[in-house]
Chains A and B, each alone.
Chain A
Amino acid sequence: MSKQVKQLDRVIIRFAGDSGDGMQLTGDRFTAETAAFGNDLSTLPNFPAEIRAPQGTMAGVSSFQVHFADHDILTPGDAPDVLVAMNPAALRANLKDVPRGSTIIVDTHDFGARNLAKAGYTEDPLEDGTLDPYNLHPVDLTTLTVEAIKELGLSRKDASRAKNMFALGLLSWMYGRPTEPTLEFLSTRFGAKPVLRDANITAFHTGWNYGETTEAFAVRYEIKPAEMAAGRYRNITGNAALSYGLIAASQQSGLPLFLGAYPITPASEVLHELSKHKSFGVTTFQAEDEIAGVGAALGASFGGALGVTTTSGPGVSLKSETIGLAVMLELPLLVCDIQRGGPSTGLPTKTEQSDLLQAMFGRNGEAPVPVVAPQSPVDCFDAAIEAARIAITYRTPVIVLSDGYLANGSEPWQLPDVADLPVIDPAFEVSDPSANADTGEPFQPYARDPETLARPWALPGTPGLMHRIGGLEKKDGTGEISYDPDNHDLMVRARQAKVDAVADALPDTIVDDPDGDARLLVLGWGSTYGPIGAGVRRVRRDGLKVAQVHVRHLNPLPRDLGDILARYERVVVPEMNLGQLAMLVRAKYLVDARSHTQVHGLPFKAAGLAEVLREHLRDLGDVPPANTDPEQPGRKSPATTPDVIA
């Protein structure tokens, strides 16, 4: 049968099912196919904290959203064009996000009275008209799968587990995805279990053929590869990119990487990933608790390693005292906080940006710590290297603020040329006994470099430089214990001045203001970069003007930020917290920054942010021009088609 082929510029698909249905795997494989095809893409996994919540319930629903396009996109998308629901709970939990007219593919197998009741349905939504506004495809995926593989002799229960591969095959057919990556993956994954390998491969093919041969699916869609800069690409999650960034920083500084960590969601993947790379001289230490994780990392730093600890918000709370010690010792240390919903245990698997003020101030005393935040999954790589550069150059702990959305989300990454990565010079203090003999001056562990204000880093094992460091206040220069009032005042200010000096070496802030005459500036940090950028594109498409600044260095803030903020009539700060950066810029720059906040445990949606920006523009008296000129300034590029939405 020859099928109609429709061209689309972008599609958002959400796979949803029970925690045990393999939706994360299905989404991962669809993403791998899409990456191989050459679309730009962005993903949003969303799963419960429970490993296996009661089957069929709303609490157990797990989903994976993938947005792919023939052009550059910034977010995993607001609302799915296609929902694949593997049971009643998955349908009910996700239906509110699906716009009318969208496609819904439902596995009808579990739509019996019992499972409908578990999901909270009193009537069958497939029958009662609930889904009339949608393009509904009810398919008994489970039975089709079981029938297709019955000859393999698996139990019915085991056979039905391959239904996610049926769904993947069907969707792969609909969107013309290449099948080789999935077939290769299944062959490798189940290499030792040929029956399971064959079951999954057969289910995948059956799903593909089902689309091709049945009349229920009359249309295939084509989304052309995206125009991307020439180069070699791979798909990568934020946690993997962060892990690789740490290994790269180790290699570029010549310091062996030491990770001290305690398992915690959503940071554990970094521990897992780094544990695999011992051949890069990486040591991973799974500590007895969060405090030991950072303590061991600091001990390793004392010995000349690149000491790193990875955690999430509750872990940072436990590590606070040791981070304060690192401030006092003035030793390099990386603390990677993969933020999640808080306070307390909060929402372990959901995203939030609510640790900014903890990173800034969550220690006793005046304990300034540089803070760096990646803005996309790929950017976690560069942010890790930048954080290591600061830590090593300035002899200071540095906090990296990633979050659950960046950690688990993925996007294509144009592979960097390893030869172009920055080199980091640890500049260890080496002994010079002859000079020592001449002057008779003992080593000064708290002397400061005039430019960076960093102190010398003398490793144990270096002759002639024996010294003691500790958490008690240091005497300027000698590092001896000192309770002298003036010395304490001097040292508190010196530690602050050193962290402030980090800003001296930062590049100018990038202001995205195409005409330079916008009156509204939207300021963001961290993982909101994608949604804010997508919201800004929408507003500009209306012919309105809005400028965007995204800060990577939260402490110290860039030197030019105050002047930039002052140039705009209004500054809006969207954050997934209750206004933490807004509070900082209001305090520091006396700017009347307007906070826009959301704490849903999910990223902002572009449409919602666009509406917020439009409202501020209306308030300022900016209204869209009557006739939108497709060539109007502010558009990303004239070649972009008018219906492109990021």
Chain B
Amino acid sequence: MTAVDLPFPDTDLSRDGLAGVPTTDEPQNRKEYTSDQEVRWCPGCGDYAVLAAVQGFLPDLGLKRENIVFVSGIGCSSRFPYYLDTYGMHSIHGRAPAIATGLAITRPDLSTWVVTGDGDALSIGGNHLIHALRRNVNLTILLFNNRIYGLTKGQYSPTSETGKVTKSTPAGSVDTPFNPVSLALGAEATFVARTVDNDRKHLTAVLSAAAAHRGTSLVEIFQNCPIFNDGAFEAFKGKGAAESALIPLEHGHAIRFGPDGSRGVARDTATGGVRVVGVGGDDGIDESDLLVHDAHADDPTTAFALSRLTDAGVLTQAPIGIFRQVERPTYDDLTRQQIDTATGTSGRGDLAALLAGKDTWAVGEPRG
């Protein structure tokens, strides 16, 4: 078996997730992105906030609206495409990344988005998610994580904490949950971020960066289900609480949080990972010893260590922001490049020559 070196695709393409998608100078507004369908999520659902953020943010991209496609799977969040006046497909459970992959490979002129949930993406569709990430198809995946099955009325999900009592686990769930960010990093993802449904500004900033990234962008969105898992993200609600529980990751900045920046993240030399530390004062470390976040590091080790600061059980603390953002050629660019190269070197195929192949003989003519 042999391997060949693949030429790196066009540099502009490799840096811009929206390159190749037609733009417009016409001003756009939120209303144009709102479909005529009645939104049918439960009152208080975190999905409303995300929908509003997306409808408010899409006009800023300046893309032709008809060149935007949202593909979803099954679950509460997967109703999302119905409420956006773009092209959309509400597909089947877990398969949206696979369907979007076929679309993205064949249509570089589209901005292709996937909307999925924790059950859809991490349970029934786990295989498609990890393979989309490793291939680095030019997709933006919004993973709504409410840590529960909502549409089927309240069973535990692959992100529910161990011991969770639900209709299907009256004695407590014995499953160990997935950490979606750790999973994505392990699956060779080039863009991994996390945000929360109730921080419109942060949500919009992360989505903008995700859309601009060429390759698969995975954005985990902590999203509250008020009916079946209300309060899962209570630790992050309210200004004071958020300040103490959310660890903001900003590229090039020391990782610092808490009241008056009293806490931060530093390397843990004992484990090779990272740990939360106090900053300043008698017990704290020096500010200059804090870890400076490097989202562009080629090595994902530190990003993975940061992802482990997320509680596996009841959430009291979690980093948010962009964990990792690196450049790597995308599957779809490389695939199209191979086709272009084949067409370019040997010209567009000749069907008659293909059908004949190399070995033909004639009947009804003198034999040679």
Contacts and interface: CB of A to CB of B under 8 A. Distances in A.
Contact of B66 (A248, A297, A303, A461): A461
Contacts of B69: 460
A288 B127 contact: yes
A32 interface: yes
Contacts of B364: 229-231
A407 interface: no
Contacts of B86: 466
A575 to B, nearest CB: 31
Given A280-B354, A285-B102, A481 B361 contact: no
Contact of A467 (B74, B87, B348, B356): B87
Contact size range, A: 35 or more
B355 A244 contact: yes
B23 to A, nearest CB: 13
A288 B89 contact: no
Interface stretch (A124-132, A340-348, A468-476): A468-476
A283 B88 contact: no
Contact of B87 (A228, A466, A480): A466
A35 interface: yes
Interface string A328-350: 01000000000000000000000
Interface stretch (B54-62, B104-112, B159-167): B104-112
A324 B107 CA distance: 24
B100 interface: yes
Interface stretch (B198-206, B303-311, B315-323, B335-343): B335-343
Contacts of A244: 354-355
A176 interface: no
B363 A229 contact: yes
Given A470-B89, A471-B91, A472-B90, A38 B102 contact: no
B67 to A, nearest CB: 5
Interface string A441-480: 0100000000000000000111111111111100000001
B275 interface: no
Contacts of B260: none
Contacts of A225: 363
Given A280-B348, A463-B66, A181 B359 contact: yes
Contacts of B356: 232, 234, 415
Interface string B26-63: 00000000011100000000000000000000000000
A321 interface: yes
B90 A469 contact: yes
Name the residue in B67, B92, B364 with the highest tally of chain A Cβ atoms < 10 Å from its Cβ: B92
B88 A468 contact: yes
Interface in B230-253: none
B102 A277 contact: no
A460 B66 contact: yes
A251 B348 CA distance: 11
A299 B365 contact: no
Contacts of A325: 91-92
A292 B137 CA distance: 14
B106 A300 contact: yes
B183 interface: no
Contacts of A229: 363-364
B351 A460 contact: no
A305 interface: yes
Contacts of B22: 461
A303 B354 contact: no
A352 B355 CA distance: 28
A327 to B, nearest CB: 12
B64 interface: yes
A279 interface: yes
A324 B103 CA distance: 19
Contacts of B267: none
Contacts of A292: 95, 98, 101, 127-128, 131
B81 A416 contact: no
Contacts of A472: 90
A258 B352 CA distance: 21
Given A288-B131, A461-B110, A466-B86, A418 B103 contact: no
Given A181-B359, A461-B66, A461-B110, A296 B89 contact: no
Contacts of A470: 81-82, 88-91
B349 interface: yes
Contacts of B67: 460-461
B99 interface: yes
Contacts of A248: 351, 355
A32 B128 contact: no
Contacts of A329: 89
Contacts of B37: 480-481
B118 interface: no
Interface residues of B, number: 64
Interface string A234-258: 1110000000100110010000101
Nearest to B367: A38
B248 to A, nearest CB: 34
A260 interface: yes
A232 B105 contact: no
Which of A232, A244, A302, A414 has the most chain B CB atoms closer than 10 A to its own CB? Answer: A302
Contacts of A256: 106
Nearest to A181: B359
A303 B82 contact: no
B102 A418 contact: no
A295 to B, nearest CB: 3
Contacts of B64: 461, 463
A19 to B, nearest CB: 20
A115 B312 CA distance: 61
B151 to A, nearest CB: 12
B219 interface: no
B363 A230 contact: yes
Contacts of A584: none
A183 interface: no
A231 B367 CA distance: 12
A300 B88 contact: no
A462 B66 contact: yes
Contacts of B65: 466
Contacts of A258: 102, 105-106
Given A292-B131, A416-B355, A468 B35 contact: yes
A234 B66 contact: no
A72 interface: no
Given A277-B349, A279-B343, A418-B352, A471 B92 contact: yes
Given A279-B343, A481-B82, A469 B89 contact: yes
Contacts of B93: 321
Contacts of B348: 279-281
B71 interface: yes
Contacts of B339: 278-279, 281-283
B115 to A, nearest CB: 12
Contacts of A466: 65-66, 85-87
A285 B97 CA distance: 14
A118 to B, nearest CB: 31
Contact of B359 (A235, A260, A285): A235
10 contacts: A36-B359, A283-B335, A287-B131, A321-B93, A325-B92, A415-B355, A461-B22, A468-B35, A468-B88, A480-B37
Interface of A: 32, 35-36, 38, 181, 225, 228-236, 244, 247-248, 251, 256, 258, 260, 277-283, 285, 287-289, 291-292, 295-305, 307, 321-322, 324-325, 329, 414-416, 418, 442, 460-472, 480-481
Given A244-B354, A298-B102, 18 more contacts: A36-B359, A38-B367, A231-B364, A232-B361, A234-B355, A248-B355, A260-B98, A281-B349, A295-B91, A295-B98, A299-B101, A299-B102, A321-B92, A322-B95, A415-B360, A463-B66, A465-B66, A470-B82
Interface of B: 22, 35-37, 64-67, 69, 71, 74, 81-82, 84-93, 95, 98-107, 109-110, 127-128, 131, 335-336, 338-339, 341-343, 346-349, 351-352, 354-357, 359-365, 367
Closest 6 CB pairs of A and B: A230-B364, A470-B90, A299-B102, A296-B102, A295-B98, A278-B342
